[in-house]
Every structure is written in C-alpha cells, then in structure tokens.
Chain A
Amino acid sequence: MAKRVAIVGTGQTFHKSHRPDVNGQELINEAVRRALADADLKMKDIDAIVIGNMDHFEGINYVDCWSVDGSGATMKPIIKLTTGGTTGCTVAIGGYHLVGSGMFDRVLIIGWEKNSESDTTGAITTAFDPVWDRLVFAGAISGLAAEAQAYIARYGASERDGARVSVRDRKHAMNNPHAQLRKEVTLDEVLASPMLADPIHLLDVCPRSDGACAVIMASEDVAEKICPKPDWIWATASRHSYSYLGDADYGRLTSMREGSQELWKKAGIKEPRKELDVIELYQPYSFGGLIWIEDMGIVGPGEAPRYIWDGNTDMGGELPINPSGGVIATNPIGATGLIRCAEAAMQVMGKAEGRQVPDVNFAFSSGFGGCWWTDMILHGKKKPK
C-alpha cells in the first residue's frame, strides 16, 4: 500500500546565535506556524508529528511530550527520532516512511535546537564510546581535522582549497534572510583566522545556532490538492557506519558513497553531476565540501578542488551547492538536516526567493553526524514513477 510522498510546505525561524526572547516550545512554534501557513493548512489537518533534536543539548529527554504546546501535537500521535547530527534528516526520512506507509496522509516534521542553552562539547562527547574513545578524545573538530588531513595527504589538496568552499558558502548566505552569519569573507581572511586543529581554521567551521525548522509531507492522495507544485521525495538513504573512531576510512566518507549509490540506483540517475540541479549539503566544515561531493560521485577522487575553483558550485554555476549558505552560516544541530531538506524542497517548488536556482528538476539534501554518518534525500519536481 506504499504511497508516493511529497513536501507541501516548509517553515523556519530566523536563526540566531541566541534567542533569549523565546523558550524551546515557542521557538518550535514559530517554525510550525510558518510551515502551516506555507501549505495553507490548519493544525487540525495534521495527522501525526515527528520531532527531533540532539540528545543532551537542552537537557530534556522527553522532547516529544514537553514540546506539545509549540508543536501542536496535543492528543495527536507524535514520535521523537534523534540520531545526533543526522537528526534533522532522519526526522524527514521518518516522516516519509509514515506517509509512504499509507497510514497517515499529512505529517508534520520538526527539527529544532537551542544550542545556546547547552554545553556543546559535553553533549557532543556523549556521541563517542565512553570506554574506548572518550578518554583519548580531542573534540569533534579534531575528528573532522583528521579527515581533512588524510584527504590533503592523499590527493595533494591544500588549506586554500578548503577556504574556497567557506568563501562560497558565506557569500551564498548573503541571499538568505534566515541565515545566522551573513558576512562575506575573503580567502585570506579564512586562512588568517585562528587555527583550531590543523588544517581547520576558525572560519572553516560552522557556528552554534538557535533555530527550528518544520516540513509538512503529504501522500499522493492529497498532496496536489494542498500544493499544486509539491516537492516529490524520490528516494532516501541512511548509513551509520562505525562504532569506534578508528574504524573509519579517513579521507573518504564511506557512508556518503554507499548511501548516494543507493539513491542514484533507486531514482535511475546515471550522471549525478548532470542530472542534479542543486545540492544542500550538511557540511559543517569546509573540507567536507570537497571530500563528500567526490564520494557522491559528482566528480572523481581528488577532482573537487579544481571543480570548485572553476565556479561550478557557485550560484550561476553548473551545480550550485548550498544556496542557503549551508551549515557554515547556520547550525541549530537538530534542525540543520531538516533545513537542508526544506531548502531543497523550496528550490524544487520555486519558493527559494533570492537564493532560487533556475529550473530545478532534481535536488539533493543530506545530514551528517557524530562522525561519519550520512542520511540523504533526493527531491524532484516530477512525480516519481
């Protein structure tokens, strides 16, 4: 009884480093109201809710129950899904499964975070094994730095190549009124910013944000009645690949490679570089923007720096990446993956305003988490076969 599923509305907050004017439920409510308004639906039309955030960030473990004042889930089915950094993409995949099952016609999906309320390092440390990894840990940034270092050694890339990605995303953020950091930087400014963990400079990485995002998915029975040009979900994939930090193949993102191969196969995509029109990548640091698009098969191993220097991923290029400014401009962790999904949906629906890429047929959005996990969604203008 599987149903085809489409996104019929999206909403998000104006993301900030700190939102002292609202509590968590109120922050969630802003995104929910905007998504309902976008779809022209009322809360009574929603059949079920999926919500998620990063464990430990706000210190509230029953978020599904606690948030009902904001989410509108009072006396409705609601489930919480939380998978660390991938949470925002996982909630979208969970919503897709609920609607696809044929059991719910209209599902509201919420990702949120008030990162300003927490001890980020303390919370992120809980994502690593207590007996093996935590005692010799050096922070999440060090894990990313080790990936970048291995990539640089393997393919002869440089710190400048990473900086170019950061310059791109920060420029794109200028077009997005919802982005937290809206300030262009130069290559030299990135390279002159303090070194956090070699080869990662301060301006190579994402900020911490307060923000929420909501997406409404509908089954094929009702989707086009709600929204004449919905964003159809073509395929999803999810890969969580390791237990201990030493298990990963540093310099390559295996979960991205295997997940995207599944995605292309499901959708019949032969040449992702030519068939995709826009990418919203969960890319919390600049070097991920090089390594991971190679694992997606956009370009071959070691070819990303040249491809990016040539402007192909800038607005107006062959395949724009992160028109929203991406994660480097805004990172309310539990919302971040869902913002990627919402932004990709807006591109397909033609609602991306100042950051719209023309004539989007296929869009890709992803989530990245912990270390080396990847979730992903393929969005399309046409109804899947």
Chain B
Amino acid sequence: MTDQFQGIEPMVYKSKINVPYSWWAGDTASKFYLTLRDEKKITATKCVACNKVFLPPRKVCPSCFTENTQWVNVSDEGTLITFTIARRQFAAIPSDRKVPVIWGLIKLDGADTAMLHYLDEIKPESVTIGMRVKAVFSEGRKGNIRDISHFKPVSRV
C-alpha cells in the first residue's frame, strides 16, 4: 500500500456529528419505571394466552400477538442465567462502572424472561451460573433501569 500514494499525502477529513435523541418509553415502560422509582417494586406484563410473564413488560405478546393488559409483581430476587466479566473498559460501559464489570442475565422469580444488569458486592471469581441474586435499589431514583443499582448475592442465613 505504501507505493500507492507515490508522494501524495493521504487527506483525512475528521468529523463528529452531534445527534441528540429523546426516546419516549411509552405508557407500558413508563408504568414499570414509575413503579420502580416510587415503590421500589419490579413489575411485568403477563400474556393471558401463553401464560408467560415478560420482563421488560410488553404491550403485545411477542409470541402470540395478544395484547397484554395484566400486570403482575415479580420478585426482586432471582437466578443468574449467565454472565461475563468485562476485563477491558469497553466504550459501551457507563463511565461510573469500572472494570472488572460483572454483567449478568437474571431471571427474577415470577418472570419468564431474563433481565440484563450488573452484579456487584461479589468477587468475579465467585460468580456462578445458577446462583441466587437480589436487586439493590439506587438512592436517587430517576425512573430508568439504573434505579436498580445492581444485583448482589443473596446471603444465606
């Protein structure tokens, strides 16, 4: 490739586009986030046809297309389905979380789908699939998914 330019300086145009967005969560997600913020409760929608509980809640069942109108409470405790430990500070990781970041999929008791979140208050080498974990709620809750700060291991009494 070095001889391709034959003395011509390769010109590069560096640029950055600022694209602001406002994502409306919609009434279904908003109801979930308000309940989370104000009552520290995790809720989900249930498809009455499939008898499946979806978290995140869905307005319409993704399996059978029935409209979901039934809200149910799910537990703030659940089982770790799988996880990984991000060892590099990938750009997608929020700046307030420092590696190693433990990232897991948690099936809360009462839900049929898993929830994506962080695990903390545990050493990376102690994390195992199938372990029981519990939500830790944030102090200053703003009505988004990080009103749950992270999940921690359920302490065995």
- Looking at B17, B83, B87, B116, the one whose CB has the most chain A CB atoms below 10 A away is B116
The answer to the question of A122 belonging to the interface, with a C-beta cut-off of 8 Å to chain B, is yes
A200 to B88, CA, bound (A): 12
Inter-chain contact A245/B23, CB cutoff 8 Å: no
Given A131-B25, A136-B118, check contact A197 B93 (CB 8 Å): no
Inter-chain contact A142/B105, CB cutoff 8 Å: no
From the candidates A130, A135, A145, A243, name the one contacting B84 in the complex (CB within 8 A). Answer: A145
The answer to the question of B137 belonging to the interface, with a C-beta cut-off of 8 Å to chain A, is no
A246 to B106, CA, bound (A): 8
From the candidates A122, A196, A250, name the one contacting B105 in the complex (CB within 8 A). Answer: A250
The answer to the question of B136 belonging to the interface, with a C-beta cut-off of 8 Å to chain A, is no
Inter-chain contact A246/B86, CB cutoff 8 Å: no
The answer to the question of B4 belonging to the interface, with a C-beta cut-off of 8 Å to chain A, is yes
Inter-chain contact A149/B83, CB cutoff 8 Å: yes
The answer to the question of B71 belonging to the interface, with a C-beta cut-off of 8 Å to chain A, is no
B5 smallest CB distance to A (angstroms): 7
Q: Which of B21-59 contact A (CB under 8 A)?
A: 21, 23, 25, 29, 55-56, 58
> Chain A, 113-145, contact with B by CB distance < 8 Å: what is the 0/1 string?
000000101101100001111111111111001
A132 to B44, CA, bound (A): 13
The answer to the question of B72 belonging to the interface, with a C-beta cut-off of 8 Å to chain A, is no
The answer to the question of A63 belonging to the interface, with a C-beta cut-off of 8 Å to chain B, is no
**Residues in B neighbouring A131, C-beta threshold 8 A:** 23, 25, 29, 144-145
A272 to B124, CA, bound (A): 40
The answer to the question of A198 belonging to the interface, with a C-beta cut-off of 8 Å to chain B, is yes
Inter-chain contact A135/B103, CB cutoff 8 Å: no
> Chain A, 131-172, contact with B by CB distance < 8 Å: what is the 0/1 string?
111111111111001111110010000000000000000000
Inter-chain contact A20/B10, CB cutoff 8 Å: yes
**Residues in A neighbouring B17, C-beta threshold 8 A:** 59
The answer to the question of A194 belonging to the interface, with a C-beta cut-off of 8 Å to chain B, is yes
Size of A's binding interface in residues, CB under 8 A: 44
Inter-chain contact B145/A135, CB cutoff 8 Å: yes
From the candidates A21, A122, A138, name the one contacting B103 in the complex (CB within 8 A). Answer: A138
B101 smallest CB distance to A (angstroms): 6
The answer to the question of B92 belonging to the interface, with a C-beta cut-off of 8 Å to chain A, is yes
The answer to the question of B62 belonging to the interface, with a C-beta cut-off of 8 Å to chain A, is yes
The answer to the question of A353 belonging to the interface, with a C-beta cut-off of 8 Å to chain B, is no
Inter-chain contact B145/A130, CB cutoff 8 Å: no
Inter-chain contact A141/B90, CB cutoff 8 Å: yes
Inter-chain contact B118/A149, CB cutoff 8 Å: no
* Chain A residue with the shortest CB-CB distance to B146: A135
The answer to the question of A16 belonging to the interface, with a C-beta cut-off of 8 Å to chain B, is yes
Inter-chain contact A139/B144, CB cutoff 8 Å: no
**Residues in A neighbouring B15, C-beta threshold 8 A:** 59
Inter-chain contact B90/A150, CB cutoff 8 Å: no
Inter-chain contact A243/B145, CB cutoff 8 Å: no
From the candidates B4, B56, B86, B101, name the one contacting A244 in the complex (CB within 8 A). Answer: B56
A368 smallest CB distance to B (angstroms): 18
A240 to B86, CA, bound (A): 26
| Interchain Cβ contacts under 8 Å between A and B, 13 examples | A20-B1, A124-B92, A131-B144, A131-B145, A137-B116, A138-B103, A141-B90, A145-B86, A150-B82, A196-B87, A244-B116, A246-B56, A251-B82
Q: List 15 other contacts, CB 8 Å, given A137-B93, A138-B86, A200-B84.
A: A20-B12, A135-B94, A136-B116, A138-B90, A145-B84, A147-B82, A148-B84, A150-B129, A196-B88, A197-B87, A198-B87, A246-B106, A246-B113, A246-B115, A250-B82
